[in-house]
Amino acid sequence: MTRPFEGITIIDVTHVLAGPFAAYQLAVLGANVIKVEHPLECDQSRETGADRDLNRRKMGTGFMTQGSNKRSITLDLRQERGREILKQLVKNADVMVENYRPGAFPALGIGYEDMKKINPRLIYCSMTAFGQDGPRGNQTAYDHAIQALSGVMAATGTPEVNPIKVGTPVIDYATGTMGAFAIASALFQREKTGKGQYIDSSMLDVALMMQASHITGYMYSGKAPKPTGNRHHQASSTCYDTKDGLLMLAASNRRQHKRLFETLGHPEMGDKDYEYREAHFEEEAAVIREALKQKSAQEWEDYFQAHHVPAGRVRPMDQALKDPQLEARKILHRHARVPGADKPVTVPMCAFKFAHGGPSIETPPPQFGEHNEEVLQSLGYTKADIEALRADGVI
């Protein structure tokens, strides 16, 4: 069964996390993705990750996370011949994605206005920290800086210890996911209009979208979100100590609230509205707190879930990845062999399933410049041409 983006070619001129992740999400759905890196300055994610030996080989886990199903070439875009090769690739491509400083690519003659003359149907996506315009348009940032600027950090932590950044680069991956959605939308639009599109994507914009309900609430009431740690607005949706660890309760709606107190032997306390529950937080929490001390976190998780009360044991990564649900969902892919790695590599693939023609991985993350000859020969370059380009540092 054909996957959604088979037949679509994407030129991926991105680095670090957000941009490569956007292209990766389309690659696992069938797109032909050609990753472009500078011959002397690889994507910095190749040199970052959990294993230093892999980092030195330019196959860091940061890169391998989002490198599957891609081909890798090197081009020095500061050289005219490098830009000419990029333009040849773009001429027959559907999408180009870049995440460099605003103005950098137009200054080199490879911005959207330049490329659409070559390929009017091109979808050109620029992913930056703050977008292409506005007073911050020429500034740069990474995930943690955007967390600080956007209000995410200020709303994270406890009343005593804050602000705190989120423990994973959520803004980067959310920006990548939003970027893939924008590209998919532009491709769908092109099917109707026949015209290409320019996408201006901003990490700050994405960070704000991730706080949508907080923003609406603040703009209406003037009340800014405050860090509450593991405590939610209602006692039935809060984290508690058990006999051997922490359990997060998430009995949010009224029916779940009712079932929670029925399972704890206090049916008279259930079936209350949100306002009542917020006003009686301490009263409800005292009952829950005392009850949960009697069993282990796993016992309570099993017990509550059996009674349709949302709850989850707080687990470290090693335990979370042993959950049999992951095997059932097939969202992880295990590469038995990756050139440059000494053992199998497991990577996340996609956060959804299709009944047919869904996400899949066929090829491992590529080594730096692994496909130079293959791609250049497809453009008509001879082996002698390629050696000359290599000798001059173009590739």
Angle (deg, nearest 10), helices 170-193 and 143-150: 90
Same domain, 240 and 289: yes
pLDDT of residue 368: 98
Residue numbers of the domain that contains 52: 9-210+330-391
Residue 266's domain is classified under what CATH number? 3.30.1540.10
How far apart CA 330 and CA 332 sit, in angstroms, is 5
Domain final residue, candidates 297, 320, 343: 320
86 falls within a domain: yes
198 plus 341 within the same structural domain: yes
Which pLDDT does position 276 carry in this prediction?
96
**Residue 129 structure tokens:** 């920290």
| Residues 181 and 43 placed together within one structural domain of the fold | yes
For the chain, the domain total comes to 2
Q: What's the confidence (pLDDT) of residue 273? A: 95
C-alpha span between 335 and 263 (Å, rounded): 44
Digit-by-digit pLDDT tens for the chain (395 residues) are 699 999 999 999 999 999 999 999 999 999 999 999 999 999 999 999 999 999 999 999 999 999 999 999 999 999 999 999 999 999 999 999 999 999 999 999 999 999 999 999 999 999 999 999 999 999 999 999 999 999 999 999 999 999 999 999 999 999 999 999 999 999 999 999 999 999 999 999 999 999 999 999 999 999 999 999 999 999 999 999 999 999 999 999 999 999 999 999 999 999 999 999 999 999 999 999 999 999 999 999 999 999 999 999 999 999 999 999 999 999 999 999 999 999 999 999 999 999 999 999 999 999 999 999 999 999 999 999 999 999 999 99
Global pTM value: 0.96
Angstrom distance (rounded) from CA 134 to CA 131? 8
Same domain, 50 and 144: yes
Residues with catalytic function: 172
Which helix (H) or strand (E) element contains residue 173? helix 170-193
Q: What are phi and psi of 256, to 5 degrees?
A: -65, -40
Looking at 268, 295, 320, which one is the last position of a domain?
Answer: 320
Query: Are both 296 and 374 inside the same structural domain?
Result: no
The CATH number of whichever domain residue 39 belongs to comes to: 3.40.50.10540
